[in-house]
Amino acid sequence: MPSCWPFLSIKNRLLSLISNLNSFLRSLGTRAATVELLNSAPSNRAMSSPKIAVVGAGIIGISSALRILQAFPGAEVTIFAESVSPDTTSDVAAGFWGPSYISNTPHEIVISWGKETYDHLVDLAKSDPQSGKCGVFLAPGFELLSVDDPGTRYWSHIPLEFRRATPSELSVFPSRIKSGIYFISAVAEGSKLIPHLTDQFKALGGKLVENHRVNSFSELQQLGYKHIINCSGLGAMKLCGDKTMFPIRGQVHRVAAPWLKFWFTSDDGTYCLMNTNFAVLGGVAQKGDWNMSVSETDKAGILSRNYAIWPSLRAAPVLADLVGLRPGRDKVRLERENIGDCTIYHNYGHGGSGLTLFWGCAGDIVQLLKADLPTAACKL
């Protein structure tokens, strides 16, 4: 055996090791390039981020838009609204929790929406440091009746406390009051809550297009929206051709009555509801009336009826006279409708219960979207 063979053998081994090392380094480069390519490619989330339009910026529209963004982070959600706060019906409302003017909406559905909303308001009032800013608080008060038996309320299990008013409690009211109900309501002032929710919506990347009246869903389809949330209220009469919609005119008077720390309603339509900086005196419920002007006749009747129940209100100066049109309908419409390749999610017709049902209704809209959109886009 030649004496150089051992050295050749060692050399060959070294060359083999170097070759293997180069192959390994090349593989590392390939892996790094692959990782870089994966990182630069659009993610499943980006590819499946939904583009959603919301029509209407009242309490129903803004809460739906906000809950959608909370459930679908990164989604492109845009509100198109002809009117925004402080010029919505929700801004006029006192924001008193209690189902009203929702006709034939099934009780079990009202209970579901109402409880979710009430619980949400209680949580805001208790835990949110911004509860004062957004006008949410708990308020005890009385539903006053001119009949001996107050009857029952199908939603009586929702409030923190709900019971018949005692004889001693009723004794402070006029003699025509024969019975009553005491319960703890939740107040959500639309004029404060809507701006608060709008700020949250924008902070999550939502967009608000103001002074934009949507005349047809095809307008939004042409802009690339295949998922449209219809929270147009009375606007649904024209937008959807919904002939079952009708206005329920309301008129209220804000007065300065800081000494009054409870609310009351009466079965003749009278009410005094507390807000943060004033009391709201009402009311009227005039079906089919589109008149947005303040009626002095209605005002005189509203004030005199409230004064008869609680005379000290005579000393409360009137701060503002306001009129709003409740979006009346035989029952709330919350459902999906397919129009071509576009899906419309209707959420309107809440009568006088927008601020009683808004959060629960928005939650149901989210559930409908979750069933229709890719799971990659949804925050589970």
**Annotated binding-site residue? 61:** no
Distance CA 109, CA 160 (A): 20
**Annotated binding-site residue? 354:** yes
**Annotated binding-site residue? 312:** no
Could you write out the three-class secondary structure of 314-339?
A: HHCCEEEEEEEEEEECCCCEEEEEEE
**Annotated binding-site residue? 214:** yes
Distance CA 104, CA 331 (A): 5
**Annotated binding-site residue? 356:** yes
Instruction: Judge whether 180 and 164 are in contact, CB under 8 Å.
Output: yes
The dihedral built from the CA positions of residue 242, 81, 194 and 358, taken in this order, carries a sign that is positive
Please enumerate in sequence order all residues whose Cβ is within 8 A of that of 174, keeping only pairs 6 or more positions apart, or say none: 308, 309
Distance CA 68, CA 378 (A): 9
Q: Edge to edge, what strands does the sheet with 342-348 contain? A: 207-209, 76-80, 51-55, 227-230, 342-348, 333-339
**Annotated binding-site residue? 352:** yes
- Could you tell me the end-to-end alpha-carbon distance of the chain, in angstroms, rounded to an integer? 74
From residue 195, give the alpha-carbon distance in Å to each of 63, 75, 143, 218, 341.
11, 21, 30, 29, 33
**Annotated binding-site residue? 89:** yes
Distance CA 81, CA 65 (A): 12
Distance CA 171, CA 211 (A): 51
Q: Classify residue 284 as left (phi > 0), alpha (psi -120 to 50) or beta.
A: beta
Count of CB atoms situated within 10 Å of the CB of 231 = 31
| Positions at the binding site | 89-90, 214, 271, 326, 351-356
| Positions at the binding site for D-dopa | 271, 326, 352
| Positions at the binding site for FAD | 89-90, 214, 351-356
